[in-house]
Structure 1
Amino acid sequence: MQTVRGITELEYAFLFTLRKVNSIRLEGFKPFFNDMPVDPYIKGNYRSRRLSRFVVAGDELIKLPHGYLFQSKEYNPLVGDIKREFAELDDAMIELDIFKEMIFAFTDSCKIHPEAEIGVHQIRTSCSPDNMGNPAPEGIHSDGTDFIGIFSVDRNNIQGGETHLYTGKKEKPIFSKVLHPGELLLVNDHEFFHFTTPIKPETDALGTRDVFVLTSPSLLIN
């Protein structure tokens, strides 16, 4: 077991958790990753993205008005201090039971306040034999929120894409793992920096990594 400053990884477990959400049929999500707008704020056209925000009211999920994603340069030195606008999530996907199950897995695990905003970032990172894909072009970072959930939907013809957690940007990671489809990593953003390594194809064809990143608060502004 790894130790960090004399503290074992086990003692950090209450600050991050890895879950396998077996109840979610991932096939229902996959068609919605095939028609994604390219992220215009990242060079290379290898990342596609949609974004919406919600609150949970009892057993219901309420979609909030569209907003801009905003992070300061303190948290995102690459595209910080910019009001970024992305297309919203597909309404047909939002109506799926599996979408609600994913949100509830996040809110229940993190004990999020019922009125807290939740941002849902739908992200596809692509790669080709000529170009690697970079899921975290800003490097080792925190997001400037309270809680983060990374839910893996699909890995197609790729190697790499290993997610790391750090207690400091110059420290060795205390957690390193490829998130396989159906796995949900929950992280206290105040305690850890995170990063995901670049991806490249396993064969001479396009490769893709599909995830949802959930944040609370949402990081969206009007």
Structure 2
Amino acid sequence: MLNLSKPQEFNCLASYVLEMVNAVKLEQLKPFFDFLPADPYLAGNYRFRNLSHFQIAGDRLIKLPHRQLFQSKVYNPILGDVVREYPELDDRLVASVDFQKIVWEFFQFCQLCTNFNEVAVHQIRTTASSQQLGNPAPEGIHRDGVELVGIFSVNRTGIEGGETHLYPEKDGRPAFSKILNPGEFLVFRDSQYFHYTSPVKATTSELGVRDVFVLTCPGLFPPESGVGSSDQ
């Protein structure tokens, strides 16, 4: 389990954290993005996605049974009120030390800021070609409807753009704007910031890719399945 250098400096009400997680070996994670299935809910075949949920019990990371994804139209005007089905993360990825380091790092923030002991991990690849931009956030400036959000950058190859922004007000100026480089981890409180990542453009004739893990605490489930697990 990774230890944050100064976790007490993270103000759960008003702050975001950007850190470089040097302990994670990115080369061990990159191959698991090469065979992600296309997101069937978006046209254009430029986004690819898997999704799994985990519970933290003591020092154990437990993979939970398969669950669907759901957001209301309040948070997602494009795919809101749609029950979405995505494949699970590869078991070999889940078992890898480097993946588990990322989840543990995020969970330390969850412990500081929430009562939930459940984390959802979205594995997402966005591609761009000379004919098509890739849009990491087709819903625009938005919130997810969770407690905490983390974006961990694994790979950027052959692209420009893909700048991530955090907005205290949806129609205001961003408080944070940065392209997340591989190894960087941005964590923020969803109720404090709207967020958005700009489209990516290919810089060569080859396919460009942006690979990230998006982590949320808790997950986002259809209404009949409840809202995740609490440690209370």
The answer for the alignment partner of 1:24 in structure 2 is 24
1:123 aligns with 2:121: no
Deviations 1:156-202 (A, max 9, x none): 00000000000111101110000000000001001110000000011
The answer for the alignment partner of 1:67 in structure 2 is 67
- Work out the CA distance in 1 between the residues paired with 2:82 and 2:12: 33
Q: What amino acid is the match of 2:170?
A: K
The answer for the alignment partner of 2:209 in structure 1 is 208
The answer for the alignment partner of 1:146 in structure 2 is 147
Correspondence list, 1:54-93, <5 A = 54-93=54-93
Aligned residues: 213
- Tell me the CA shift for residue 99 of structure 1: 1.1
- Tell me the CA shift for residue 82 of structure 1: 0.6
Deviations 1:111-142 (A, max 9, x none): 25575221000000000000000000000000
- Work out the CA distance in 2 between the residues paired with 1:66 and 1:220: 11
- Work out the CA distance in 2 between the residues paired with 1:25 and 1:128: 27
- Work out the CA distance in 1 between the residues paired with 2:31 and 2:187: 25
Closer/same/farther in 2, CA of residues 21 and 32 from structure 1, 3 Å limit: same
Paired residue secondary structure (2:126): strand
- Work out the CA distance in 1 between the residues paired with 2:165 and 2:187: 12
- Work out the CA distance in 2 between the residues paired with 1:129 and 1:13: 42
With normalisation by structure 1, the TM-score equals 0.92
Paired residue secondary structure (1:27): helix
Q: What amino acid is the match of 2:86?
A: F
With normalisation by structure 2, the TM-score equals 0.88
Structure 2, unpaired ranges of 5+: 1-10, 226-232
- Work out the CA distance in 2 between the residues paired with 1:98 and 1:61: 13
- Tell me the CA shift for residue 109 of structure 1: 2.9
The answer for the alignment partner of 2:163 in structure 1 is 162
Which contiguous aligned blocks of 4+ residues in structure 1 show a shift greater than 6 angstroms? none
8 Å Cα contact 2:57/2:117 also seen in 1 = no
Correspondence list, 1:174-189, <5 A = 174-189=175-190
Paired residue secondary structure (1:29): helix
Closer/same/farther in 2, CA of residues 128 and 215 from structure 1, 3 Å limit: same
- Tell me the CA shift for residue 110 of structure 1: 3.8
- Tell me the CA shift for residue 15 of structure 1: 2.1
8 Å Cα contact 1:168/1:192 also seen in 2 = yes
Structure 1, unpaired ranges of 5+: 1-10
8 Å Cα contact 1:119/1:214 also seen in 2 = yes
8 Å Cα contact 2:110/2:117 also seen in 1 = no
Q: CA RMSD in A?
A: 1.8
The answer for the alignment partner of 2:4 in structure 1 is none
Larger strand share, 1 or 2: 1
- Work out the CA distance in 1 between the residues paired with 2:79 and 2:95: 31
Identity %: 52
8 Å Cα contact 1:57/1:114 also seen in 2 = no
Q: What amino acid is the match of 2:15?
A: L
- Tell me the CA shift for residue 71 of structure 1: 0.3
